[in-house]
């Protein structure tokens, strides 16, 4: 057997070039095609190439990361341009007060006149409750009012009658006094006429009391009518402010208790953004300071606003604040409110929950940067 073969008859790596067919490929390419188990005796060309590819990949990854960091920095600079001293900023979200439209009395929902997403005006009826029982009670009270009114009229007529009886008794009394003085009639007749006059006077007072009683009954019946009228009116649920219906919580036919939720609406006339600032910045903010709000959805426009609230207590306060570094962690809530007049003109576009940045100017002498002076069109 050949010396380049082992005892089993297999060709050894050293004898492989002689035993293998001749090829015209370059030596390096030919070696790359060999199985790994047959490359033990070849130069380490493949290892160097793999190391070079590995470094190229690392370099490419570094370039991509640097490009991403540069793009992120550019975008950050666009959203947060360099600010002059006297202007501070904080991140937040647009918020609007949520108003619940609830039932005043326990009743069944009879009609729904609005749905989620609808814009409603103050005083607009958005739902009606079933008021058939109240309508029946109202009719009964109205009938009682008519009956009480007739009782009052009757009592007044009785008073007029008693006034006439009193007048007649007074006249007869005067004639009796005259005739008795002339000696024509006896004193007994005078006593009779005096008794008739007293009786007529008492009857007139009683008739007047009955008028007062009838008028009180009429007032009570009238108040019942007013009460049922108010209850029926309150069962027509109206929007208390201009806004947008956010949620419809109940459906037609549901029986709700007093105070049951039917709608939740957003007050579009009161839109604000709460931001948090550290102690050094929040201490310079005053009520009424001018502000600008830049939303992430509209980064090219700044919305004018003003500071309407400054928290009197810090947020995120550590349990013990003993050092200056700990005091620097104190954050105060600042509320920046949008102009209500501007909101009324753009009520259809108002939405809550949009993230953005609020810029607050504590020094009126500092001019706003150009990027914060591009206002949306009216």
How far is it, in rounded angstroms, from Cα 103 to Cα 262?
7
- For every residue of the chain, which 3-state class applies, written as one string? CCCCECCCCCECHHHHHHHCCCCCCCHHHHHHCCCHHHCCCCCCHHHHHHHHHHHHHHHHHHHHHHHHHHHHHHHHHHHCCCCCCCEEEEEEEEEEEEEEEECCCCEEEEEECCCCCCEECCCCEEEEECCHHHHHHHHHHHHHHHHHHHHHHHHHHHHHHHHHHHHHHHHHHHHHHHHHHHCCCCHHHHHHHHHHHHHHHHHHHHHHHHHHHHHHHHHHHHHHHHHHHHHHHHCEEECCCCEEEEEECCCCCCEECCCCEEEEEEEEEEEEEEEEEEHHHHCCCCCCCEEEEEECCEEEEEEEEEEEEECCCCECCCCCCCCHHHHCCCEEEEEEEECHHHHHHCHHHCCCCCEEEEEEECCCCCCCCHHHCCCCCC
**325 falls in which pLDDT band (50, 70, 90)?**
low
Supply the pLDDT for residue 73.
Answer: 61
Supply the pLDDT for residue 31.
Answer: 47
pLDDT digits (tens, 9 = 90+) for 355-370: 999 999 988 888 888 8
Supply the pLDDT for residue 328.
Answer: 55
Q: Which of 18-32, 38-52, 246-260, 360-374 is least confident?
A: 18-32
Query: Average pLDDT, stretch 47-59?
Result: 68
pLDDT digits (tens, 9 = 90+) for 254-305: 999 999 999 999 888 888 999 988 888 888 899 989 999 988 888 888 888 9
Q: What is the pTM of this model?
A: 0.59
How far is it, in rounded angstroms, from Cα 243 to Cα 270?
10
The better pLDDT of the pair 265, 191 is held by 265
pLDDT at 330 over 70: yes
pLDDT at 86 over 70: yes
- Residue 264: count other Cβ atoms within 10 Å of its Cβ: 17
pLDDT at 319 over 70: no
Percent of the chain with pLDDT over 90: 34
pLDDT digits (tens, 9 = 90+) for 108-166: 999 999 999 899 999 999 999 999 999 999 999 999 999 999 999 999 999 898 889 88
């Amino acid at each position: 057997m050949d010396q380049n073969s082992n005892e089993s008859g297999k060709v050894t790596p050293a004898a492989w070039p002689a035993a293998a067919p001749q090829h015209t490929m370059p030596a390096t390419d030919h070696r790359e095609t060999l199985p790994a188990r047959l490359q033990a005796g070849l130069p380490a060309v493949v290892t160097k190439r793999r190391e070079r590819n590995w470094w190229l990949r690392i370099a490419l990854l570094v370039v991509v990361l640097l490009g991403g960091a540069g793009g992120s920095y550019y975008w950050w600079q666009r959203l947060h341009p360099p600010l002059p001293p006297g202007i501070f900023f904080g991140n937040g979200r647009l918020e609007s007060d949520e108003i619940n439209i609830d039932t005043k009395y326990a009743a069944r929902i009879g009609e729904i006149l609005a749905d989620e997403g609808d814009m409603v005006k103050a005083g607009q009826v958005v739902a009606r409750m079933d008021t058939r029982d109240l309508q029946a009670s109202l009719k009964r009270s109205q009938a009682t009012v008519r009956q009480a009114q007739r009782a009052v009229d009757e009592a007044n007529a009785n008073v007029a009658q008693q006034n006439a009886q009193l007048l007649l008794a007074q006249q007869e009394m005067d004639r009796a006094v005259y005739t008795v003085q002339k000696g024509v009639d006896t004193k007994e007749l005078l006593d009779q006429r005096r008794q008739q006059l007293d009786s007529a006077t008492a009857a007139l007072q009683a008739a007047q009391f009955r008028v007062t009683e009838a008028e009180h009954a009429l007032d009570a019946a009238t108040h019942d009518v007013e009460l049922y009228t108010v209850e029926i009116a309150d069962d027509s649920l109206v929007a208390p402010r201009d806004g947008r219906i956010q949620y419809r919580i109940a459906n037609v036919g549901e029986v709700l208790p007093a105070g049951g939720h039917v709608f939740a609406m957003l007050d579009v006339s009161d839109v604000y953004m709460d931001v948090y600032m550290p102690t050094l910045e929040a201490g310079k903010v005053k009520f009424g300071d001018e502000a600008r709000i830049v939303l992430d959805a509209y980064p090219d426009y700044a919305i004018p606003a003003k500071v309407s609230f400054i928290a009197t207590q810090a947020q995120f306060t550590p349990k013990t604040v003993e050092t200056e570094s700990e005091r620097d962690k104190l954050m105060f809530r600042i509320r920046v409110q949008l102009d209500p007049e501007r909101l009324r003109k753009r009520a259809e576009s108002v939405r809550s929950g949009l993230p953005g940045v609020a810029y607050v100017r504590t020094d009126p002498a500092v001019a706003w940067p150009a990027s914060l002076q591009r206002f949306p069109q009216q």
